[in-house]
Homo-oligomer: A and B are copies of this chain.
Amino acid sequence: MKKRKPTIKDIARRLDISVSTVSRAIRGAEDVNPITKKNVLDLAEKIGYKKSVLAAGLASKKSYLIGVIIPELTVPFFGRVILGIEQFLKPLGYDLIIVHSDEQEQKEKECIDILLDRQVDGILISLSFNTKSDLHLKKAMEEEVPIVVFDRILPKSELPIPRVIVDDFEAGYQATNHLINKGYKRIAFIAGPEDLYISQQRLKGYRTAMERNGFGTSADLIVPTLDLRRSVGQALDKLMVLKEKPDAIVALNDPIAFRVIRLLQKRGIEIPQKIAVMGISGDDMGELFNPSLTTINQPAQEMGFVAANLLIDRMNAMKDAKKQGKIFIPMAILKKLPISLIEREST
Using CB atoms and an 8 Å cutoff, list the residues of chain A in contact with chain B.
1, 50-55, 57-58, 63, 65, 72-74, 76, 79-80, 82-83, 95-99, 114, 116-119, 258-259, 261-262, 265, 285, 287-290, 292, 327
**B residues in contact with A285, CB < 8 Å:** 258, 285
Judge whether B95 and A96 touch: CB under 8 Å: no
Which of chain B's residues have a CB closer than 8 A to the CB of A289?
262, 288-290
Say whether, besides A53-B119, A54-B63, A265-B290, A98 and B95 are in contact (CB < 8 Å): no
* Copies of this protein chain in the complex: 2
Asked if residues A58 and B52 are in contact (CB atoms below 8 Å), the reply is: yes
Residue on B nearest A259 in the bound complex, by CB: B288
- Give Cα A78 to B65, complex, Å: 23
- Distance, CA A96 to CA B99, complexed state (A): 8
Contacts of A55 in B (CB 8 A): 58
When C-beta atoms are compared, the residue in chain B nearest to A98 turns out to be B98
Query: What is the CB-to-nearest-CB distance from A147 to chain B, in angstroms, rounded to a whole number?
Result: 17
Residues of B within 8 A of A327 (CB): 1
Task: Tell me the bound Cα distance from A80 to B53 in angstroms.
Answer: 30
Q: A262-B287, A288-B259 are in contact. Are A118 and B80 (CB under 8 A)?
A: no
Distance A253 CA – B1 CA, assembled complex (angstroms): 43
Q: Give Cα distance in the complex from A116 to B50, angstroms.
A: 9
Q: Which of B50, B63, B99, B114 contacts A117 (CB 8 A)?
A: B50
Residue of B whose beta carbon sits closest to that of A83 = B73
25 contacts between A and B (CB under 8 A): A53-B119, A54-B54, A54-B57, A54-B63, A54-B119, A58-B58, A65-B97, A72-B79, A73-B79, A73-B82, A95-B97, A95-B99, A95-B114, A95-B118, A96-B97, A96-B98, A97-B98, A258-B285, A258-B288, A261-B290, A262-B292, A265-B290, A285-B285, A289-B289, A290-B290
